[in-house]
Amino acid sequence: MAMFAVEYTYSDATAAARDEHRPKHRAWLSGLVEDGRVRATGPWTDGSGALILLDVADEAAARDLMAQDPFAPRGRGDAVRITAWTPVMGAFSG
């Protein structure tokens, strides 16, 4: 398995749509936490976006998974960045 950092960027223009669909988004994420594909997730404290740490087979799997996010097809965020990440120390290393 490989780790990927998924960064969502938000703006005021998409806030109402995010608020409307956030329960579905969080329910979706909760299932992924339960099955181990999401290791951690949460919004930036300034409201500018969020971070999701994925543990999946490869980048294609990360992109396929994120395409299923209830936020994704509805344009609830302004940008999504998926980056391979190698944790060296701490809770996610090993």
**Residues 6+ away with beta carbon under 8 Å from 74:** 17, 21
Q: What is the mean pLDDT of the chain?
A: 92
pLDDT at 31 over 90: yes
Q: Where are the domains of the chain?
A: 2-85
pLDDT, tens only, 45-61:
999 999 999 999 999 99
Mention the CATH class of domain 2-85.
alpha beta
Q: What is the mean pLDDT of residues 24-44?
A: 97
End-to-end Cα separation, the chain, in angstroms: 11
Assessment of whether the complete model's pTM goes beyond 0.85? yes
Q: CB of 77 within 8 A of CB of 71?
A: yes
- Distance of alpha carbon 13 from the chain centroid: 20
**47 φ, ψ to 5°?**
80, 5
